[in-house]
Structure 1
Amino acid sequence: MQTLSKVTEHQLDTLMDIWLTSNLQAHSFVPSQYWRSHEAEVRAALPQAELTVAMTDTGRIVGFVGVQNGYIAGVFVADEMRNQHIGHRLLMHLKQRYAKLTLSVFEANAGAVRFYERERFVISATRMAEDVKQVAYEMTWKRG
């Protein structure tokens, strides 16, 4: 795992590809245009976040997590690298650095909810995400 201090344009392109593909695949219950309409916003926000990346031996980014003030904006893994514990390793890296982490996940994304529960996150609040008309959970992990 590596924390990026400065994101290159090439790295940003890779992160955005992983971000969009992951969201489209994980959120079939959300219209794809929703994600596409937020691309510019996310592209501008990514370099402002603390970005931890997973890389292959050749230096190719295959997953990442973005954090701002203990809030995980998302855990994203390239399609061909899923189910290889990359998301787990990314979260383990963050758990060493933070005493508390929070995130938001759609209730309908049952696989992600199960993943975060296995990672010892608990549902701490429920809200309606009005922009996509989906129930979202806030999930929290605390050290100790």
Structure 2
Amino acid sequence: MIRKMEERDLDRVIQIWLEGNLQAHPFINSGYWKSNLRLVREMLPRSQVFIDEQEGIITGFMGLNGNKIEGLFVNSNFQSKGIGRSLVQLAKSIHNELTLCAYKKNKKAIAFYNKAGFNVIEQRTEEETQEEELLMRWKKSY
């Protein structure tokens, strides 16, 4: 079941965010993610966050800022079960166009978003990490 995040969900969502970043981005120093925990904890409640919950367990979440997917994370124990796809489908049902950024080295994420219909529109270097990232876009076709 997908629902909007509630305040009581914040600790688990933060845990999934940290674990997901550490797992998906071994090319970035783990201290970077840990040093951003407080900022993310402050920002999440101000964003539009949808969580996937199954049998009382939060399995993943997606943060939207307007039509930009700011983050999509699924707990590693629940990956490849359609949760990420369902969250992206929800975003597609809300917006006619979506954008997101993904690190170029995160091949699994790039493949996932390509399969979901996103295309690379720009490549750039992220200032904080100095890693190459891809700006990707999906547009509804009529």
**TM-score normalized with structure 1 length:** 0.94
Asked whether 1:7 is paired with 2:6, we answer yes
Partner secondary structure for residue 38 of structure 2: helix
Aligned counterparts, 1:41-52, within 5 A: 41-52=39-50
Q: Distance in 2 between matches of 1:95 and 1:35?
A: 28
Deviation at 1:93? Answer: 1.0
* Runs of 5+ consecutive residues of structure 2 not aligned to the other structure: none
Deviation at 1:2? Answer: 3.0
Q: Distance in 2 between matches of 1:135 and 1:113?
A: 13
Asked whether 1:108 is paired with 2:113, we answer no
* Runs of 5+ consecutive residues of structure 1 not aligned to the other structure: none
Q: Distance in 2 between matches of 1:129 and 1:104?
A: 10
Partner secondary structure for residue 138 of structure 2: strand
Q: Distance in 2 between matches of 1:7 and 1:84?
A: 23
Residue 34 of structure 2 is matched in structure 1 by 36
Identity level (%): 33
Following TM superposition, the consecutive aligned residue runs of length 4 or more in structure 1 with deviations greater than 2 angstroms are none
Asked whether 1:133 is paired with 2:113, we answer no
Residue 20 of structure 2 is matched in structure 1 by 22
| Amino acid of the structure 2 residue aligned with 1:7 | E
Deviation at 1:131? Answer: 1.5
Q: Distance in 2 between matches of 1:139 and 1:21?
A: 23
Checking the alignment, whether the CA contact within 8 Å between 2:3 and 2:52 is kept in structure 1 is no
Q: Distance in 1 between matches of 2:97 and 2:118?
A: 10
Checking the alignment, whether the CA contact within 8 Å between 1:3 and 1:50 is kept in structure 2 is no
